[in-house]
Amino acid sequence: MTTDQADLVTIGKIERHFGVRGEFKVRLLSDVPGRLEQLKQVQVLGVTGQLVEMAVAHVRRAGSTYIMGLVGVTTPEEAVALRGGLIQVPRAPAAALAPDVYFECDLIGLSVETEQGAEVGVLDTILEIPGNRVFVVRKGAKEVLIPAAKSFVASVDLPSRRMVVRGIDDLLEDRHAL
């Protein structure tokens, strides 16, 4: 079964290999409890952009991460080749979202601009810090950190791949630390 990339939601990221049996550590990118432990099949989006469907051999919790084994991945070298890959599942079983709530994977890559129409950059990643999440928006070598809060996000238009932000003028100024 092949699934279109738009029909998938990212729920984990392969961090690094683990042990000598082809296992690897996965950082959970979903707030659905038990999300990884219930998986039988996943799509792995490699860093090269190749999407491969694989059967899950086993998953177990290891502190704040998970150890996962996939059928057919039996050596550390095979596991290393998956490093940086994204664990994806079909969007259909994902929980319905409330208005103004989005999957992180849908937000990554959005063009970000101010209410005045000034380009800020492209949403590159989302950091999770205690009490909040922070959008990392990049424009060339410049990086802007924007709190992921309704007071800063004016609107999100997923079909147009656009996010409008407000109240970030001080964040955009070039300031040199003393």
**pLDDT tens across 88-116, in order?**
888 755 556 677 778 787 888 899 999 99
**3 state DSSP class of 135:** strand
pLDDT score recorded for residue 28: 86
Class of domain 104-172: mainly beta
Residue 92 or residue 19, greater confidence: 19
**pLDDT tens across 35-62, in order?**
788 889 999 998 888 899 999 999 999 8
Q: Which residue has the tokens 């177990």?
A: 60
Please tell me whether the overall predicted TM-score, pTM, comes out greater than 0.85 for this model. no
In the chain, where the domains are located: 5-90, 104-172
The CATH superfamily label for domain 5-90 reads RimM (2.40.30.60)
Kind of pairing, strands 41-45 and 23-28? Answer: unpaired
Identity of the residue numbered 57: A
**3 state DSSP class of 79:** helix
**3 state DSSP class of 141:** coil
What does residue 129 show for φ and ψ, rounded to 5 degrees? -120, 160
The answer to whether 149 touches 132, Cβ cutoff 8 Å, is: yes
Partners of 90 in the β-ladder:
8
The answer to whether 12 touches 106, Cβ cutoff 8 Å, is: no
pLDDT at residue 176 tops 60: no
Task: Give CA–CA dist 3/178, Å, rounded.
Answer: 52
The answer to whether 25 touches 14, Cβ cutoff 8 Å, is: yes
